């Protein structure tokens, strides 16, 4: 999720728990080998251990339509410390699609195979290589063929966002299609799209028969959603009656928003406008789960001074008590 889940957000969310791994925003590849600084900007975790501060592995995502350049840059990413590579065939951005990247490649299963295969061959076999696709560009006609192209290219697993490019993010996710694709593959399928609550997860699991799930917007709408889902999955004796953990209280959540702003402000050359924009953005997501976020968003949406918004959030934040 470009502009939403950066390394600051990854650190916050993975510290809450429930994630097996997380994926970076995409590194856009054209026709040349990128310098290390580009990879480090998108994935600062590479400089240390390739993991978030909570110890969750970070997968580096690449986007591009040139198989040779994608392979060359994947190799460099691994040399810099990336422990896994993901290929983005799902981005619906018109600009990206015009540059032969993202979802437009869903029109050409052969290119999906060639790009995935080139990346797979470019890195050591112990480095997982995965791909993320949508159900198609305009229709679902090539959904199975595209998924099978990824499998034929020896990908470790595939993530499928259960919408077409034309669906954007408006049409409800078509989880029934995940079940069809899952039945046709032998590699693991990770379900993605509209998993914004525990109830969504349960319904998606039933319709898709998937064992693995990727959160996008749901991760920022409900910051502890992965932890709740993980708790349910661990209750294997009676999965149908498994109960989630109690959701995070608003007092805890507002503290996370304050923390995000503070983390961003510590960065060299931090722009107040960008920090303020991210605070507003997260509150806009959170209001789908927390009514208090909606009221707070209404108060700060027209503010132009970061100091004013930060003071309001700190005033709103209730004192937190420590617990074992």
Per-residue pLDDT of the chain (324 residues; tens, 9 = 90+): 677 889 999 999 999 999 999 999 999 999 999 999 999 999 999 998 899 999 999 999 999 999 999 999 999 999 999 999 999 999 887 778 777 788 999 999 999 999 999 999 999 999 999 999 999 999 999 999 999 999 999 999 999 999 999 998 888 999 999 999 999 999 999 999 999 999 999 999 999 999 999 999 999 999 999 999 999 988 764 555 556 677 899 999 999 999 999 999 988 877 888 999 999 999 999 999 999 999 999 999 898 888 888 888 888 775 544 443
Q: Which domains does the chain have, with CATH numbers?
A: 7-241 (3.20.20.70), 250-316 (1.20.225)
Count of beta carbons in the 10 Å neighbourhood of residue 8: 18
Helix (H) or strand (E) holding 88: strand 85-89
d(CA 9, CA 29): 24
For the chain, where are the alpha helices, taking DSSP H only? Answer: 7-16, 36-42, 67-79, 94-98, 109-122, 143-152, 175-184, 198-208, 217-221, 225-234, 250-265, 272-286, 291-300, 306-316
Q: 99: how many CB neighbours lie within 10 A of its CB? A: 15
Q: Which sign, positive or negative, has the C-alpha torsion 170, 172, 173, 176? A: negative
Distance of alpha carbon 137 from the chain centroid = 20
**Strand, coil or helix: what is 95?**
helix
User: For position 67, what pLDDT does the model report?
Assistant: 97
Give Cα 308 distance to the centre of its chain.
31
Tokens for 20?
């097996």
Which of 22, 43, 91, 204 is an active site residue?
A: 91
Task: Extract the tokens encoding 223.
Answer: 């910051």
The model's pTM: 0.91
CA-based angle 286:288:290, to the nearest 5? Answer: 60
Residue 25's SS3 state is: strand
Would you say 8 and 45 are in contact if contact means Cβ atoms under 8 Å apart? no
| CA dihedral for 35, 97, 284, 52, sign (positive or negative) | negative
Q: Answer for the pair 283, 310: CB distance below 8 angstroms, yes or no.
A: no
Cα–Cα distance for residue pair 200/43, rounded to 1 Å? 30
What is the rounded distance in angstroms from the CA atom of residue 239 to the CA atom of residue 54? 28
Active site (annotated) includes residue 322: no
pLDDT value at residue 286: 96
Q: How far apart are CA 249 and CA 220, in angstroms?
A: 14
pLDDT of residue 148: 98
Amino acid 241: pLDDT: 56
List the 189-192 sheet strands across, edge first: 22-28, 58-63, 85-89, 129-136, 157-164, 189-192, 212-214
pLDDT of amino acid 243:
61
């Amino acid at each position: 999720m470009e502009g939403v889940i950066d390394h600051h957000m990854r650190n916050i969310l993975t510290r809450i728990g429930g994630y097996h791994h997380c994926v970076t925003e995409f590194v856009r590849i054209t026709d040349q080998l990128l310098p290390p600084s580009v990879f480090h900007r998108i994935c600062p975790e590479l400089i240390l251990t390739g993991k978030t501060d909570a110890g969750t592995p970070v997968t580096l995502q690449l986007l591009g339509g040139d198989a040779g350049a994608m392979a060359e840059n994947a190799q460099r990413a691994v040399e810099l410390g990336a422990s896994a590579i993901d290929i983005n065939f799902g981005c619906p951005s018109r600009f990206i699609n015009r540059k032969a990247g993202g979802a437009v490649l869903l029109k050409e299963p052969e290119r999906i195979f060639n790009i995935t295969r080139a990346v797979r061959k470019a890195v050591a076999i112990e480095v997982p290589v995965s791909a993320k696709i949508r159900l198609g560009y305009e229709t679902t006609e090539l959904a199975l063929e595209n998924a099978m192209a990824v499998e034929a290219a020896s990908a470790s697993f595939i993530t499928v966002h259960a919408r077409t490019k034309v669906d954007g993010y408006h049409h409800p996710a078509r989880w029934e299609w995940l079940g069809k694709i899952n039945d046709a593959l032998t590699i693991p399928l990770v379900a993605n799209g509209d998993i914004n609550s525990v109830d969504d997860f349960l319904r998606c699991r039933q319709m898709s028969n998937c064992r693995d799930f990727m959160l996008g917007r749901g991760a920022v709408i409900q910051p502890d959603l992965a932890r709740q889902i993980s708790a349910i999955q661990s209750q294997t004796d009676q999965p149908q009656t498994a109960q989630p953990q109690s959701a995070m209280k608003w007092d805890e959540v507002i503290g996370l928003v304050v923390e995000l702003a503070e983390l961003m402000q510590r960065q060299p050359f931090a722009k107040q406008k960008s920090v303020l924009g991210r605070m507003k953005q997260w509150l806009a997501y959170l209001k789908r789960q927390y009514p208090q976020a909606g009221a707070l968003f209404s108060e700060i949406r027209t503010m132009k001074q970061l100091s004013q918004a930060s003071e309001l959030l700190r005033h709103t934040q209730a004192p937190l008590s420590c617990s074992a």
